[in-house]
Amino acid sequence: MVFQNLFSEIPDSMSGEIFEILLRNENFKLERIISSGQASPPGEWFDQEMNEWVILLSGNARLLFEGETDAYMMRPGDYIHIPAHRRHRVEWTDPKQKTVWLGLHFK
């Protein structure tokens, strides 16, 4: 058994988002995502095969769902369940601090 910390090994500089799988089996995937000012490319949407439950642990972000005009501001402790195939995008992550997410993808 190895103890780890969700806030350890976060690099000072990043060229892109970091996706790290923490646990996985045939029914789910748990990942840590580290953002630092990244956003979804213009016009691109996530359309995932699995449901996703995501919580923001640190930093700030805005999520936008297809068909809606207002993005949802997320702050530490905020979480949301995104059903499979609910198209969404990351509009913004805080460029002044690391944004750490925990995402659970499941059937």
C-alpha torsion 100→94→91→22, nearest 10 = -10
Amino acid at 66: E
Residue 95 inside a domain? The answer is yes
Residue 65 inside a domain? The answer is yes
Residue 98 inside a domain? The answer is yes
The pLDDT of residue 44 is 96
Quote the number of domains for the chain: 1
Neighbours of 95 (CB within 10 A): 12
The pLDDT of residue 15 is 85
Could you report the per-residue pLDDT of 21-60, keeping only the tens digit for each? Answer: 999 999 999 999 999 999 999 999 999 999 999 999 999 9
Residue 8 inside a domain? The answer is no
The parent domain of residue 29 ranges over 18-33+45-106
Residue 11 inside a domain? The answer is no
Residue 6 inside a domain? The answer is no
Could you report the per-residue pLDDT of 1-20, keeping only the tens digit for each? Answer: 889 999 999 998 888 899 99
Residue with more model confidence, 67 or 2: 67
Q: Report the CATH number that the domain containing residue 54 is assigned in CATH.
A: 2.60.120.10
